[in-house]
Each structure stands twice: as structure tokens, then as C-alpha cells.
């Protein structure tokens, strides 16, 4: 068999093995009723965020002083805020902003962390030591404190807050990916690929990275929930979204002033944050259980 034929065989065989694992993981996930419910809830929340301009009955930015701090009613399902704006509409748009934060944060953290982890784990030696010490520097700081520092340096806005969170969360992915690569590079198919003369970029992208990515995908699911919470925290202290943006953390920061005479204001906005983070976190736990190799052997 020629070298090119052996290379093509490896390129086909390894992805096929990975594809065979996916149906089994999906079946285990569907058997988890709580995890499935959390997944459906997460999807619904994301769809609400995407379709907020269509679903919202009112403009979330237009004030109506004559309707300020009205309780929930048929015309305003969640009541109104201190400027008379419809809270239901603002919560829907807040889901859209939270989705933006989660996507930016997870994308930046995964790309940066996986790049560092793959390079360090595969090359080893001094390169690995340098990259891991840089990772340790980031891990040495409390996540919220580091996010506050980055957000303050970049300037207060929701996009900058998401970028700051991405810079905070990438070390976890770097550590995870490095551990995966250190294990996978010792497999026989990697040695066979090297013997066949496959280039290093092709080996990393076609054979190592796809087989190391499963735990990264699980972690990304859970990071989305943490990113929404941290993004709301940054907005709460003034380093995230700025008025009049209908961002959940910013809304809670204002709503706490009206807790005694407008209970629905902080309660319903806080409930939206709670349900969203709970659903994403529980879904992440369910995905982690479904993709666990030990459970896979039992199933």
C-alpha cells in the first residue's frame, strides 16, 4: 500500500470512529429527562433572544412616564420599569444580549485556549512550559477580578465585557486541550500518521484536534451559562452594558432600588437570569454525563 493510500485511509477511519460515538451519546442524553428538558429550555431561550424584535410587544427603549412602575397586567405581562418601559419586551431583548455575550465569550475562549493547548501539548518541551506558565498567570487571579480589570481597560460596553470574559476563560480550555493532546499523541494511529509523512498542521487538524474536542464542547456548553452570569455581574457594577440597553444585569442594578414598592421589577428580571443559567448549566451536566467514556462502556 502506498503512502498516499495509507494517509487517505487514516483520514477516513478516524472521523468514522468519532461519528459512531455521537449516536450513542445522543441516546444517553435523550434518556436523561431532566437534561433533555434543560436542553429544550436552553434552545427556547436562545430562540427567544434571536426573535426578540418579532416577539416583543413594545419598543424596549421608548419611555412612557404615565405608565411607570405599573404591576403585571394583561397589557404589560411583566409590568413596567421606572421609565414606563415594558419589562417583558426588555427581558426578551435582554436574552438577545445575553446570547451575544455567551457566543463571543465561548468563541474567543475556545479558539485561544485550544490553540495554546494543542501547540503546547503536541510540541512539548520549552514551548509547552512557556505556554503553561502563561496559563498559570491567568489562573492565579480570581475570575471576576480579572474580568473587571480587562473590562475597565477595554472600556465599558457589552462587547468589551464579553471579550474580557473570553480572556478570562481561555486558560481552562488550554489546560483541558493540552491534557487531551498529551494522551492522544501517544496513540498508535498518530504514530502511523507520522510514519506516513503527514504534515504537522494536517495531523493536528485532521486527527488530533477532532478526537480531543469532545470534552471541550462539553465545557463550552457550561461556559455559556457562566458567561451570562459574569456578563450580568459586570453590567451590574457598570463595566458592561450601559443605559438604556435592556441587559439583565443592568436592569437588576436599577431594579434593586424599587424592591419594596415594585417587587415584580427585580423579581421577574432576576427570575429570567436564574432560569437561563440553571437551564444551560443542567444541560451542560447532562451532556457531560452522556459523553463520559465510563458511562459509554456501560451503555
In angstroms, the first-to-last Cα distance of the chain is: 37
Which pLDDT score, from 0 to 100, does residue 97 have?
92
In a domain, 67, yes or no: no
In a domain, 256, yes or no: yes
d(CA 250, CA 244): 9
59-90 pLDDT per residue, tens: 999 998 888 999 999 999 999 999 999 999 99
CB–CB of 81/269 below 8 Å?
no
Q: Annotate 179-193 with DSSP letters as a single string.
A: HHHHHHTTSHHHHHH
In a domain, 73, yes or no: no
Which pLDDT score, from 0 to 100, does residue 20 have?
55
In a domain, 27, yes or no: no
Longest dimension (CA), the chain: 82
In a domain, 273, yes or no: yes
CB contact burial 42-74 (16+ within 10 A = b; e otherwise): beebbebbeebeeebebebeeebeebeebeeee
d(CA 94, CA 100): 10
pLDDT averages per 10-residue partition of the chain, 299 residues: 49 50 68 86 91 92 90 92 93 92 93 90 86 91 91 92 93 89 75 69 74 79 89 92 91 90 92 92 82 52
Tell me 257's DSSP state.
Answer: G
Q: For residue 223, give Cα distances in angstroms to 34, 169, 217, 258, 272.
A: 19, 8, 10, 31, 18
CB–CB of 228/102 below 8 Å?
yes
In a domain, 63, yes or no: no
In a domain, 65, yes or no: no
When divided into structural domains, the chain yields a total of 1
Helix (H) or strand (E) holding 210: helix 209-212
CB contact burial 232-266 (16+ within 10 A = b; e otherwise): bbbbbeebbbeeebbbbbbbbbbbeeeeeebebbb
Residues paired with residue 80 on neighbouring β-strands, in sequence order: 86
Q: How many CB atoms lie within 10 A of CB 297?
A: 7
Which pLDDT score, from 0 to 100, does residue 111 have?
92
47-60 pLDDT per residue, tens: 998 999 999 999 99
Distance of CA 151 to the CA centre of its chain: 18
CA Rg value for the chain: 23
| Cell numbers describing residue 56 | 416583543
Which pLDDT score, from 0 to 100, does residue 297 have?
46
CATH code for position 292: 1.10.3720.10
Phi, psi of 140 (to 5 degrees): -75, -20
| Cell numbers describing residue 54 | 418579532
SS3 289: helix
Which pLDDT score, from 0 to 100, does residue 194 have?
66
Residue of 161, 170, 187 lying closest to 249 (CA atoms): 161
SS3 114: helix
pTM: 0.83
Per the structure, the complete domain to which residue 207 belongs is given by: 3-15+34-50+83-298
Which pLDDT score, from 0 to 100, does residue 166 have?
93
Amino acid at each position: 500500500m502506498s503512502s498516499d493510500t495509507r494517509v487517505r485511509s487514516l483520514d477516513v477511519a478516524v472521523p468514522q470512529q468519532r461519528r459512531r460515538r455521537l449516536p450513542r451519546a445522543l441516546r444517553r442524553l435523550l434518556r436523561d429527562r431532566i437534561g433533555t428538558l434543560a436542553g429544550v429550555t436552553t434552545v427556547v431561550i436562545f430562540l427567544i433572544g434571536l426573535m426578540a424584535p418579532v416577539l416583543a410587544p413594545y419598543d424596549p427603549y421608548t419611555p412612557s412616564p404615565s405608565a411607570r412602575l405599573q404591576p403585571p397586567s394583561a397589557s404589560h405581562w411583566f409590568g413596567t420599569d421606572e421609565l414606563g418601559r415594558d419589562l417583558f419586551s426588555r427581558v426578551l431583548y435582554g436574552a438577545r444580549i445575553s446570547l451575544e455575550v455567551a457566543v463571543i465569550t465561548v468563541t474567543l475562549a475556545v479558539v485561544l485556549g485550544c490553540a495554546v493547548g494543542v501547540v503546547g501539548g503536541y510540541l512539548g518541551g520549552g514551548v509547552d512550559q512557556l505556554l503553561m506558565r502563561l496559563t498559570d498567570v491567568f489562573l492565579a487571579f480570581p475570575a471576576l477580578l480579572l474580568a473587571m480589570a480587562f473590562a475597565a481597560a477595554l472600556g465599558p460596553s457589552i462587547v468589551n465585557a464579553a471579550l474580557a470574559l473570553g480572556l478570562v476563560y481561555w486558560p481552562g480550555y488550554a489546560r483541558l486541550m493540552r491534557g487531551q493532546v498529551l494522551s492522544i499523541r501517544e496513540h498508535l494511529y498518530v504514530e502511523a500518521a507520522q510514519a506516513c509523512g503527514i504534515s504537522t498542521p494536517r495531523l493536528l487538524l485532521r486527527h488530533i484536534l477532532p478526537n480531543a474536542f469532545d470534552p471541550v464542547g462539553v465545557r463550552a456548553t457550561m461556559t455559556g451559562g457562566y458567561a451570562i452570569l459574569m456578563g450580568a455581574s459586570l453590567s451590574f457594577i457598570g463595566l458592561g452594558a450601559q443605559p438604556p440597553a435592556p441587559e439583565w444585569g443592568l436592569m437588576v442594578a436599577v431594579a434593586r432600588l424599587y424592591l419594596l414598592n415594585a417587587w415584580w421589577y427585580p423579581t421577574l428580571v432576576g427570575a429570567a437570569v436564574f432560569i437561563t443559567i440553571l437551564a444551560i448549566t443542567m444541560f451542560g451536566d447532562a451532556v457531560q454525563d452522556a459523553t463520559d467514556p465510563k458511562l459509554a462502556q456501560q451503555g
